Amino acid sequence: MTSQPLLRVQAVSKTFGAIRALNGVSFDLHPGEILGIIGPNGSGKTTVVNCITGFIKKTSGKVFFRGMDISSKPPHKIADMGVARTFQIMRPYYSLPAYKNLVIPLFSPRAKRTGGWRGGGRLGDRNTVGIDILEEIGFERDSFVPYKLAATLPTGYLKRLELARCLALKPEIIICDEIFSGLSMSEIASMVPLIERLQMDGITLIMIEHRLRELFRVANRVMVLNFGEKLIEGAPDEVMADERVKAAYFGSEEIEEVMCHA
Amino acid sequence: MSSEQRRKERIDRGIKVRSEGIYALMSIRELSYLILPRLILIAGLLVLPMALPGMYWQRVLTITCIYALLAISFDFLAHHVGLVSLGGAFFVGTGGYLAAILNTTFGFPPWLTIPLATLAGGAVCTVLLWPCLPLRGVYFAIISLMYPLFMARVIEALDILGGTDGIMGIDSFTNRRVEQYFILGVMLIILFAVRRLSTTDLGLVLRGVKDNDQAIRASGMSVTYYKSVAVFIASSMGCLGGACLVHIYMWSGISQFALDFSILPIAATIIGGAGTLVGPVLGCLILVPISELLRDFGTLRIVFYCLILVAFIIFRSEGLMVFGSRKYQQFERWTRI
């Protein structure tokens, strides 16, 4: 891996009252890789994301993006630097059509700066760019789906919309919070190539997942969290062979399945 | 046929579909379908000052327009940005006092004090409301209700800005027609401008703030900044109303911080249809004259007023404008299931 990590998380801790949600978690994210973060429920996966992106204040620890300390920056500043995230609980702008959902991030300072379009796409408006991005992410261009209200879209499309909202920013890092959960097998099967394409386009990804088998198809490295502490970090098969991970996931069918396949 | 086997079906009228987008240019019929309702509103309002008998009702119409400005401001903030503001009176008072000071102390004429008070008042209101912008929903409502009360008490207690007597001797408009048509015109322009704003990209971002402010943050935009932009726009409208008001009455006093200016626009918005912008204007056109008519009943005025409000809320809870536009654009029929 390259010497300078794109993102460095240094001994980040977070306590909610008496509960230690995160306890000194550190890891590096290298340019172009896909890092999977897994762990049982309540192990602090989403808290890590919230700490990196500034949505909650860290109790202690530091986060560096390209060597710059972003620990105390507000969320919109961090997103503006190119760290985009999706939300585990999808919350699109329900009252707007799908493509208008993308007009909003396209209006952001970062999109105006990085997009290369002057206030819009080739026709000079953000609506067109929005539809372009939706097509890239798997909305059929000539269908009526991009024009439907976000409130009426099924989960599969909403997950894609979350991802599309990140792409509109032309980010350097996308942090996906359980982007596969709640999707059918076929929907996941069509999402996986999408993730691979993003990686080929040079975007670095952090993926928080419960769907281990699908994650292991795309992830280069996996980090396991348990009770807010980093258990192990390494290649997917190494990690799964570790006894402590087995103990943490004890009884989980998914992991047994993965173990059998490995 | 029992009612269980039937349901009401709503279908867009053919003409509505035909007059969408560029297709409206197909024929005069499609065009007039779009233009006619707007024309009726504009022409109706412009004719009204001529048609109304006597100075009293003409003055009521002018006051109605000022309330309409406040109602548009409330509707914009509440339903397009998600900030429920009870600070209408604060906006009116700030604009009013600023215009009064500019006029009496600096001797500026009304055509200068009104735009100045609008912009400066908007800035003052935005700066003062800035600390409360992270609040959402009912918390923002409560805090914004505090501001007009606070200002009135400060002026009263410190005896500044004329104290309880207010500031007198403010210039009036050159004549009655100028006053009526200026306020009417400004109100109509602002109505259509805000309507246009709500569909621009900035308007979409503001709507995003209402729907999902976390996603706005995740898109690299400061929620507080966009809220303050919205508050500036809305409070400027209120200040404009206040500035006009002091030039009409030639007097500025703490009654401009009275809660009428906060409450009546909300009632008008409920009656007219939330989020429609033109609905609140219609609501004001109904409520303000009604409250004047009810003066004959003396103390019972409030009782009747409340009854009318309750009736509207029970029988037309969606609002007149939502109801009206649905009837205009769709037809309903019973179908068998």
Does residue B21 carry a pLDDT above 80? no
pLDDT score recorded for residue A118: 45
pLDDT score recorded for residue B246: 92
Intra-chain end-to-end CA distance of chain B, in Å: 11
Residues B57-61 have a mean pLDDT of 91
| Distance, CA of A256 to CA of A248 (rounded, Å) | 12
Does residue A250 carry a pLDDT above 80? no
Which of A257-261, B95-99, B115-119 is least confident? A257-261
For chain B, give the percent of residues with pLDDT over 90: 42
pLDDT for A206-217, tens place per residue?
999 888 888 888
* Chain A residues interacting with chain B (CB cutoff of 8 angstroms): 53, 55, 74-77, 79-80, 84-85, 87, 91-96, 100, 103-111, 126, 165-166, 168-169
Which residues of chain B are within 8 Å of residue A83 when distances are taken between CB atoms?
none
Question: Which SS3 state, helix, strand or coil, does residue B290 take?
Answer: helix
pLDDT for B221-245, tens place per residue?
999 999 999 999 999 999 999 999 9
Which residues of chain A are within 8 Å of residue B201 when distances are taken between CB atoms?
103-104, 106-107, 126
Work out whether the CA dihedral B130, B134, B136, B139 comes out positive or negative: negative
Interface test with A, best of B221, B225, B228, B276 (most A CBs within 10 A): B221
Work out whether the CA dihedral B125, B126, B130, B134 comes out positive or negative: positive
Q: Which residue segments constitute the domains of chain A, with CATH numbers given?
A: 1-76+207-262 (3.40.50.300)
Cβ atoms of B152 and B206 within 8 Å: the answer is no
Does residue B217 carry a pLDDT above 50? yes
Q: Which two tokens stand for residue B289?
A: 């004259």
Which residues of chain A are within 8 Å of residue B222 when distances are taken between CB atoms?
74, 76
pLDDT for A112-145, tens place per residue?
777 644 444 444 578 888 888 888 888 887 888 8
pLDDT for B271-297, tens place per residue?
898 889 999 999 999 989 988 888 888
| Distance, CA of B16 to CA of B34 (rounded, Å) | 9
CB contact under 8 A, B201 and A109: no
pLDDT score recorded for residue B8: 84
Q: Which two tokens stand for residue A210?
A: 């419960």
| Chain B residue at shortest CA distance from A174 | B218
Per DSSP, the residues of B78-141 read IIII------HHHHHHHHHHHHHHHHHTS---HHHHHHHHHHHHHHHHHHHHGGGTT--HHHHH
Q: Give yes or no for B335 touching A (CB within 8 A).
A: no
Predicted-assembly ipTM surpassing the 0.85 threshold: no
Q: Give yes or no for B215 touching A (CB within 8 A).
A: yes
Q: Give yes or no for B134 touching A (CB within 8 A).
A: no
CB contact under 8 A, B211 and A96: yes
CB contact under 8 A, A108 and B221: yes
Contacts of B321 (CB under 8 A, 6+ apart): B272, B273, B276, B278, B279, B282
Which of A151-160, A164-173, A240-249 is least confident? A240-249
CA B197 vs. chain centroid, Å, equals 15
CB contact under 8 A, A79 and B219: yes
pLDDT score recorded for residue A258: 58
| Chain B residue at shortest CA distance from A81 | B220
User: With 0-12 CB in 10 A as exposed, 13-18 as middle and 19+ as buried, what is B18?
Assistant: middle
H or E element in which residue B50 lies: helix B28-51
**Which regions of A30-168 does DSSP assign to beta strands (E)?**
34-38, 60-65, 68-69, 83-85
pLDDT score recorded for residue B96: 92
Q: What is the pTM of this model?
A: 0.88
Model confidence at A261, pLDDT cuts 50, 70, 90, reads: low
User: With 0-12 CB in 10 A as exposed, 13-18 as middle and 19+ as buried, what is A116?
Assistant: exposed
Angle (nearest 5°) at CA B290 between B286 and B296? 170
Which residues of chain B are within 8 Å of residue A168 when distances are taken between CB atoms?
219
Q: Which two tokens stand for residue A197?
A: 């394409």
Does residue A257 carry a pLDDT above 70? no
Question: Which SS3 state, helix, strand or coil, does residue A65 take?
Answer: strand
Does residue A153 carry a pLDDT above 60? yes
pLDDT score recorded for residue A168: 87
Which residues of chain A are within 8 Å of residue B215 when distances are taken between CB atoms?
87, 91-93, 104, 165
For chain B, give the percent of residues with pLDDT over 70: 99
Residues B297-305 have a mean pLDDT of 81
CB pairs under 8 A between A and B: 80
pLDDT score recorded for residue A112: 79
- Report chain A's mean pLDDT, rounded to a whole number: 84
Distance from CA of A11 to the nearest CA of B (A): 24
Cβ atoms of B166 and B96 within 8 Å: the answer is no
pLDDT for A87-111, tens place per residue?
888 888 888 899 889 888 888 888 8
Q: Give yes or no for B20 touching A (CB within 8 A).
A: no
For chain A, give the percent of residues with pLDDT over 70: 90
Q: Which two tokens stand for residue B274?
A: 């939330």
Intra-chain end-to-end CA distance of chain A, in Å: 25
Q: Tally the C-alpha atoms within 13 A of residue B280's C-alpha that lie toward its C-beta.
A: 32
Fold of B3-336: ABC transporter involved in vitamin B12 uptake, BtuC (1.10.3470)
- Report chain B's mean pLDDT, rounded to a whole number: 89
Nearest to B218 among A79, A95, A111 (CB): A79
Model confidence at A230, pLDDT cuts 50, 70, 90, reads: confident
CB contact under 8 A, B219 and A100: no
Residues B171-196 have a mean pLDDT of 91
Which residues of chain A are within 8 Å of residue B207 when distances are taken between CB atoms?
93, 95-96
